[in-house]
Chain A
Amino acid sequence: MKKIIIILLIFLNFISNSNALIKVDITRGNLDPLPIAVSPLHVDNTSVNLENLDVKKLGVNISSIIEKNFKSTGLFNPLKKEAFVQKPDIAHLKPRFEDWRLIKAQALVTGKLSVKDNKLKVEFRLWDLTASKEMIALSFTTTPSNWRRVAHIISDKIYERLTGETGYFDTRIIYVAESGPKNQRVKKLAIMDQDGAKTKYLTLGNELVLTPRFNPSNQMVTYLSYFRNLPRVYLLDIETGKQEVVGNFPGMTFAPRFSPDGKKIIMSFAKDGNSDIFTMDLETRVVERITEHSSIDTSPSYSPDGKYICFNSDRSGLQQIYVMKSDGTNVKRITFGKGIYGTPVWSPRGDLIAFTKVRKGRFYIGVMRSDGTGERLLTENFYQEAPSWSPNGRVLVFYRETKSGPQGKGFSAKLWSIDITGYNERKIKTETDASDPSWSSLLSK
């Protein structure tokens, strides 16, 4: 492993030599995060205050969202504002590079905004303080209520410029909000921004709901609902709130996911004690059987090109991960390590599969190459599972449950994220207990 890192480093150094500008290496755990100064955005004096929005504070609020985003990556170290040496409007015109370098900043974000005619106009610049150069300058115009998204989009642009990878801040997470005692848990579908803001509940909690997943355009969600005590896969339109059962199966359907083109739902159908994998085309309603085996075949996930499917099956005795062509042929087992393997999820980059592993009573989240080689376990705990990828394939979100005492006391379920480097494990703040997270793709592409 160490060898690989060293080779990567040399390789990256070679690349960055051709480019004098600062660059953040995200292929390894970053123990030396880049010091970055995010100046509050200057608010234009002619801006008009709005009823539900304190426009004067918008500059500070946007910059603090950007800072929070950067901090959460573990790759950047946003510097304290008290040390800032120039006023926002002046720095935005042309920073005194040597002054900013004095506070040990290597990159600087400046910007200004105005609110006029119910339009929010934001512009920002990213400066390389080492090379004394402007790296990007961009401006956006949108409705003022979209100000949080503007902050996330700016974060994405800066992340992209500094790391060479697409960002993942302008995204949302759908999950199951949990409350109540462990043996009578109330579960609701909830959706929030990636940073935990703007939580919205999509179901009332009257029936058990599990395992929501976004479609590629982030407008639809497929999930399992126990509506009328019939566990079935459902489809929900987030905007309209319209829900429908997927297919007409004479038994439980579960473990749904969209195909990468969003046209099909792949899921398990359980009948007479046997679970197999099926797809349903959402337009033609044609149902296709993908696996036919007397074992439990479930947790299917497509490769991003749609050509392959990974899933877990206990056909060998215990749960292991398999890969097959998307028509169900060429089934190959890819995990042979000691322990049980489940919940395989193909990375949006196509190179890795994330999974849950259970060994000697401990639960691990890990990644491996799609042929099963190169297994790396990222985190170990009493109970955790169900990884879901950030759209750039750099971060996983999953849920973790605590051990409970008598009467289920001390039980909790929370969302966590971790970089695929194994570094930067963090709890994601949610209003309630939470499980079964699914990360959207970028909202603005």
Chain B
Amino acid sequence: MNFNKNLRNIFLILFAIFALSACSAKKSQTTGDVYTGNETVEYLASGVKDRVFFATNKSSLTSASRETLRKQATYLRKNKKLNVTIEGHADERGTREYNLALGERRANAARDYLMTYGISGKRISVISYGKERPVNSESTPLAWSQNRRSVTVKVK
């Protein structure tokens, strides 16, 4: 009986911890409104994320973005023959023309950072898709945060 009660208590505690962590995991998907999750992320190589995320109307890199880009730079230094295109994207909550410019600015922010880590600008082309190619087609703040991104793509 006592044993059972203890077991039940342990279960309750475990459940509470699980629920809390699940809750906090969901919350931590964005910081400010920059996406910090991994749901849409793909990898250039093991541990090398292909994309970084931005705040609304912004093109500044977060510390997490810089870390991702440093890993990309290391990867590109090891693979000297590889060229990449950086695609810049915006969410659907801005006018089309401005978003084209914003996507270009975001792609260049990522490119500039790779260049400061020794990657030649000649190896990195940029293209902006503005809001034309969302990765998440929903109209929700989470989708918008996943769509505000620059994606480094290997050139075949």
Contacts and interface: CB of A to CB of B under 8 A. Distances in A.
A185 interface: yes
B137 A183 contact: yes
Interface stretch (B4-12, B28-36, B104-112): B104-112
B52 interface: no
Given A274-B105, A275-B101, A406 B95 contact: no
Nearest to B104: A270
A361 B144 CA distance: 12
A420 interface: no
A298 B98 contact: yes
For chain A, the bracket of interface size reads 35 or more
B96 interface: yes
A138 to B, nearest CB: 42
A211 interface: yes
Contacts of A342: 94-95, 97-98
B102 interface: yes
Given A361-B93, A407-B137, A208 B104 contact: no
A150 interface: no
B95 A299 contact: yes
Contact of A254 (B94, B100, B112): B100
A388 interface: no
Contacts of B97: 211, 254-255, 268, 298-299, 342-343
Interface in A291-333: 296, 298-299, 312, 314, 318-319
A272 B108 contact: yes
B105 A296 contact: yes
A231 interface: yes
A105 interface: no
Interface stretch (A34-42, A161-169, A214-222, A397-405): A397-405
Contacts of A415: none
Contact of B57 (A298, A314, A407): A314
Interface in A221-276: 224, 229, 231, 251-252, 254-255, 268, 270, 272-275
B93 A312 contact: no
A211 B100 CA distance: 11
A401 B93 CA distance: 11
Interface string A174-199: 00000001111100000000000000
Q: Which of B108, B109, B138 has the most CB of A within 10 A?
A: B138
A385 interface: yes
A215 B103 CA distance: 28
Given A211-B96, A252-B100, A273 B105 contact: yes
Interface stretch (B15-23, B43-51, B76-84, B127-135): B127-135
A388 B108 CA distance: 31
B59 interface: yes
A279 B68 CA distance: 39
A25 interface: no
A128 interface: no
Contacts of A268: 97, 101
B26 to A, nearest CB: 17
Given A182-B137, A270-B101, A296-B105, A252 B93 contact: no
Nearest to B147: A183
Interface in A323-359: 340, 342-343, 356, 358
A252 B104 contact: yes
Contacts of B128: 231, 252, 270
A270 B100 contact: yes
18 contacts: A183-B135, A183-B137, A210-B100, A231-B127, A252-B104, A252-B127, A252-B128, A254-B100, A254-B101, A270-B128, A298-B101, A299-B95, A314-B98, A319-B57, A383-B93, A386-B95, A386-B96, A404-B139
